[in-house]
Structure 1
Amino acid sequence: MSLDWLLIGALLAAPAADAPGEAWSARLSGDLLAIDAALRDSHPGMFDARNPGFGPQLDAALAQARSRAVTVDSHAGYWWTLKGYTATFNDGHVSLNALAGAPQLATRWPGFLTGFDGDAQTVMSREESATLPPLGASLVACDGVDAQVLARQRVGDFSGRWNLQASRIHAGGEVLLDQGNPFIATPLMCTFLVQGRKMDYPLLWRPIDAAALAPRLADTRRSFRPANGMHRMRGGGYWITTSSFNADPAKSNFKELNQLLQTLAAQTGALQEAPMVVLDVRGNSGGASQWSLELARLIWGRERVDAIGDPTWVEWRASKANLAQLQAFQTKLKGSPGAAPEMLVMLDTVTAGMAQALTQGEPLWHASRPQDAASAPVAVETPARPGGNVIVLADASCGSACLDALDLWKQLGAIQVGVETSADTVYMDVRPEPLPSGLARISIPMKVFRGRTRGFNEALVPECRYAGDMRDGAALENWVLQVDAARRREARCP
């Protein structure tokens, strides 16, 4: 069971933005040492026998960042050094987040943004101006640097996992942004392919504020997070949206998903016999896997779902900080109505096991392996679901517990459509580590998965790819109906 909702922490007051240059270098150095210490203290990779390179990787990442730190004299230098540091892990669960009150990066743009459409970078958002490349124009190069190399240098090297299509979709809109990164050059001239002809466009940089930038970046990603809920489709199908698996009882998502499950439970017969069920997880970047398990039981039936054997098991890094994080959430969950009993049992087991490991001086606590547990489920033949196709609609945001959901649902026979998902490593379930400067926090994975079929940073590829705008719900619903009709005719995709 994944619990990636644990990145919950108090926001700290940030220091003044107009600190002298030497103060930024000192703050950065202090934060780097704090991150390195936290990872060594609490990350399972430090004692992962299957990843002997983790310790040397920590050493190399710190050395590179410290070499940059001596030249840093601004908040932008501080921020991009830490972004480059976290990117070296190629792990979405080792992430950097600014805290409330931290300075905002001054941002400039050339009046347009490109985004990734497959491997091509095309203009997806622009001001109205005859001097700018038109929508759909393909980026060839800037200042003689090939577009692919440019994207990696300007964005991929500071975000990580650039080999993933989902990472390029999510962050590709930042290729032609200037946010004060002192470690990259600002382009002056770019070449585009416009209706088969190469054309040069000078970049005239001008400021853009966060409010104006947000919808522009959304245009490059062509996706968003819809509201949780359910509606009936024409023909009698169910369209079920779970855009987050956050399990924090203090968040509205917890109440919304509990209400959704209660609504669906009241019509289980109709749900299981429906001619089609669509599971819409657009915008879902993870949370707790208990939600997807409960949803599966309602759609396919508890007997069928619970009959599936689970070959996975986990090892938790035993540290005082990890234990305190789990115990804090355990207390919060026990006081909340609607908490899943299985989740509470799991937390009881893990906290007790981790506490015992700490007492015995063991760096890892090993959860029971399937072959060790007498009650481990055994795969048996169960009746097929009486209804029609179950279709999972996912986008590039799908990661962590969302990926676990797709693993389970596809094993039960669901058809994945949409665009390629994100991916994750085997290091999961994060806790926040606020940094001494008060400017940011880093997330620290607490456990390592074992026995998972899906590989390290392996994305899930849709059977039918959607080429349109994932924000257009009406167009998506029509397309999904076409997918369902095609599958009924034993055709592959519309």
Structure 2
Amino acid sequence: MAFIGELLRPISGRDLMLLRRFIFRVLACASASCAVQTLAQETANPWRLLAESDARAALELVERNHPGAEPSLNDTVFMTRLEDARANVESRLPKVDSYPAYNALMSGLAAEFRDRHIWSNSLVEYPHRAWAGIILSRRGGSWVVGAQERGTNDSALLGYRLTSCDGIEAESWAKQRIGSFKGNPEIEAQLAANAAWLLVRDGNPFLSRPESCVFQSIAGERVEARLEWRQITVPEIFPFIERAEGKRPAAGMGVKPFEGGYWIHLQTLESSAAEVVDEVERLQKELRAAPMVVLDLRGNGGGDSSHASAIAKLLVGEGAANGQAQPVATCRGAFWRVSKGNLMAVQDWRDRLKGGDPQSFAYVSALVEDMEAALAEERAFAPALPDCASQQTADTDSESEKLPDPAMAGQIVLVTDRACFSSCLLATDIFRRLGALHVGEATDVSTRYMEVREELLPSGIRTFSTLQKVAIGSGEYGPYEPAIVYSGDLAQTDELKKWVAELPTRFIHPQT
């Protein structure tokens, strides 16, 4: 019964849930010997049992609800990722003997899908970490020491570039670790977002602890550092991470004049973006006459892309905004994966819209009826998926609409940072196609799958998400590389504005 004593120590929410599970399983036994055997098995390695149960539930959630997991869509890339996820769970389960190992397995499972809309969040605080006094940051495509707490024998490495760890070249070493448990290693924005945790240990048994790393100064001095690992808590480490990453860029909200023309601050595309749209409408005449209009999306993680579309129409005119010069897929549309879980989510959405916008309520009500009919007919999608949707490459109309002349005199400049995700990517695509000069940092990437929902896993201490809808005729959005990378600190708005205002006219050209 030693494990019960262990449970009663630090994390009460987790403890109660695990004890409740164990008691229920013991009570379900028909004999005393069964109860003893069950308790012995569970107390021997409860975390493996927990991981097995939660991983199975997470995989079933994706298989039964995600459009990419439906064979009729013929998304071979997604199906391969699903099989890889299943295989990695099986190979990792034998090593799960603690909360950190369970946590790593579930995080790795979510990372397999290479889609930030699929995540696994822990509801339990586990503050313990180990570190070697070094926090890395991603700068200019390199791994740089952004913060350091020196031990007795540690060299001063602040500002040094990491070149290798345990004999493995830094880029390969870092991408393998991030790609296995954090995100897509081919997306610069996701590498930067996870850089700080590369030399922080969270008890993950599937990643070896580096013993020594080589660093190089700007002047070329090379230092081989033996890493001295010591304990730290997450609250203690956050100030070092903040120091390494610096202040994160934030555009704010509103429309303001600046030296080069007008600056539209659009940090979110959530409901508050409607107020910015209203400001753009009030200032439409001035904005169209300005030599430059900047759309600032720093810190924007998404929301509703219709706000960005509305701003585009107000700036360049509805004809120019609607006639974006892009091939139009002959096979296109939005299709919901039909399942009991997805239907319940859409029914809940409909119920929350009662008494609100009649048009939205009518749309969702019709969707509910279609999904109910599809479930009864054993259809996989609502509306029914056309045969052309399973093609690996989409056919496009032979002629694209030509872009009408925009109704504004000046140049649009688009500013993004690595936080740009989801609907922010749609906004980026809209303005790049309208000829905006893209500056700042590269964006993240989003797939053609959408409408995320999250479920509590059987353990009660973790959640997992899935997606419910696919946009046929649409590919991935992003990553978008800026035409001009900003080498300064994107968090310094005044300096950024000064830099944009001074952009040489030779840089002002339509985005290709």
**Which protein is richer in helix relative to its size?**
2
Is residue 102 of structure 2 the alignment partner of residue 103 of structure 1?
no
- The CA deviation at 1:433 is 1.8
- Distance, in Å, in 2 between the alignment partners of 1:164 and 1:24 is 32
User: Could you tell me how far apart the structure 2 residues matched to 1:460 and 1:236 are?
Assistant: 24
For 1:333-482, what aligned pairs fall within 5 Å after superposition?
A: 333=353, 335=355, 346-366=363-383, 379=401, 382-452=404-474, 455-456=475-476, 458-482=478-502
2: distance between equivalents of 1:368 and 1:292? Answer: 29
Cα shift at 1:276: 1.8
Change (3 A) 1:379 1:233: same
1:177 matched to 2:200: yes
Per-residue CA deviations over 1:285-344 (Å, capped at 9, x if unaligned) read 2222222222222222334323448645222211222222233234434555xx6x8765
User: By how many angstroms is 1:111 displaced?
Assistant: 2.0
**Correspondence for 2:26:** none
1:281 corresponds to which of 279, 297, 304: 297
Distance in 2 between the 1:436 and 1:83 partners?
Answer: 16
Once the two structures are superposed, residues 229-270 of structure 1 have per-residue CA deviations (whole angstroms, 9 ceiling, x without a partner) of: 124233362222222324xxxxxxx2x222222233222222
| 1:483 paired residue number | 503
Tell me: CA distance 1:36–1:384, structure 2 relative to 1, closer, same or farther (3 Å).
same
1:439 aligns to what SS in structure 2? coil
Q: Distance in 2 between matches of 1:98 and 1:243?
A: 27
Cα 1:127–1:385 change in 2 (3 A) is farther
1:191 corresponds to which residue?
A: 214
| AA aligned opposite 1:176 | L
Are residues 161 and 446 of structure 1, via their aligned partners in 2, closer, same or farther at CA, if it must alter by over 3 Å? Answer: same
Q: TM-score, normalised by structure 1?
A: 0.83
Letter in 1 for 2:370: G
Distance change >3 Å, CA 380–CA 52, structure 1 → 2: closer
Q: Alpha carbons of 1:228 and 1:235: their partners in 2 closer, same or farther (altered >3 Å)?
A: closer
Gaps of 5+ in 1: 1-12, 247-253, 372-377
**Are 1:122 and 2:139 matched, yes or no?**
no
Aligned to 1:229: 253
Contact 1:118 1:165 in 2 (8 A): no
C-alpha distance in structure 2 between counterparts of 1:217 and 1:391, whole Å:
31
Tell me the secondary structure at the aligned position of residue 200 of structure 2. coil
* Separation in structure 2 between the aligned mates of residue 326 and residue 350 of structure 1, nearest angstrom: 8
Name which of 55, 58, 80 aligns with 2:82.
58
Which of 171, 182, 185 aligns to 1:162? It is: 185
Question: Counterpart in 1 of 2:273?
Answer: 257
| CA deviation vs aligned residue, 1:405-424 (integer Å, no higher than 9, x gap) | 11112122222111111112
Letter in 1 for 2:470: V
> What is the rounded CA distance, in whole Å, between the counterparts of 1:128 and 1:15 in structure 2?
35
Range 307-316 or range 387-396, more displaced: 307-316
Residue of 40, 49, 60 corresponding to 2:63: 40
In structure 1, distance between residues paired with 2:403 and 2:416:
29
The alpha carbon displacement at 1:220 in A equals: 4.5
Whether the 8 Å contact between 1:75 and 1:103 is mirrored in structure 2 is no
What is the identity, as a one-letter code, of the residue corresponding to 1:84? G
Q: Secondary structure at the match of 1:90?
A: coil
Unaligned 5+ segments in structure 2 are 1-11, 19-42, 389-399
SS state at 1:393 partner: strand
Q: Kindly tell me: are residues 149 and 324 of structure 1, through their superposed partners in 2, closer, same or farther at Cα, counting changes over 3 Å? A: same
The amino acid of 1:265's aligned partner reads: E
Query: In structure 2, the residue corresponding to 1:442 is in which secondary structure?
Result: strand
Larger relative contact order (CA 8 Å, sep ≥ 6): 1
Checking the alignment, whether the CA contact within 8 Å between 1:25 and 1:73 is kept in structure 2 is: yes
Partner of 2:157: 134
Letter in 1 for 2:14: P
Deviations 1:427-450 (A, max 9, x none): 222111211111221110112222
* In 1, Cα distance between equivalents of 2:83 and 2:165: 34
Closer, same or farther: CA 60–156 of 1 in aligned 2, 3 Å: closer
Distance 1:110 1:299 in 2: 52
* Secondary structure class of the residue paired with 2:146: strand
% same residue: 28
Give the corresponding residue for 1:81.
Answer: 105
**Root mean square deviation of aligned Cα:** 3.1
8 Å Cα contact 1:133-1:192 kept in structure 2: no
Task: Give the counterpart letter for 1:394 in structure 2.
Answer: T
Please say which of residues 271-280 and 297-306 is displaced more in the overlay: 297-306
Decide whether aligned partners of structure 1 residues 53 and 415 sit closer, same or farther in structure 2, where only a CA change above 3 A counts.
closer
Q: Work out which of the two has the higher radius of gyration on C-alpha atoms and give 1 or 2.
A: 2
Partners of 2:269 and 2:354 in 1: CA distance: 18
**Residue 38 (structure 2) aligns with:** none
For residues 487 and 141 of structure 2, the distance between their equivalents in structure 1, rounded to whole angstroms, comes to 13
Aligned to 1:207: 231
Cα pair distance change 1:355/1:307, threshold 3 Å:
farther
Once the two structures are overlaid, the 10-residue window that deviates more, 138-147 or 233-242, is 233-242
Asked if structure 1 preserves the Cα contact closer than 8 Å seen for 2:413 and 2:436, the reply is yes
CA distance in structure 2 between the aligned counterparts of 1:331 and 1:177, rounded to whole angstroms = 45
Aligned to 2:54: 31
Match of 1:249 in 2: none
**Do residues 317 (structure 1) and 341 (structure 2) align?**
no
CA distance in 2, matches of 1:491, 1:272: 17
2:282 equivalent to 1:266: yes
1:324-375: CA deviation from partner (whole Å, max 9, x where unpaired): 2233234434555xx6x87656545544433332232111124899x9xxxx
Q: Secondary structure at the match of 2:145?
A: strand
Question: What TM-score does the superposition give when structure 2 sets the normalisation length?
Answer: 0.80
What is aligned with 1:10?
A: none
Distance 1:192 1:86, change over 3 A: same
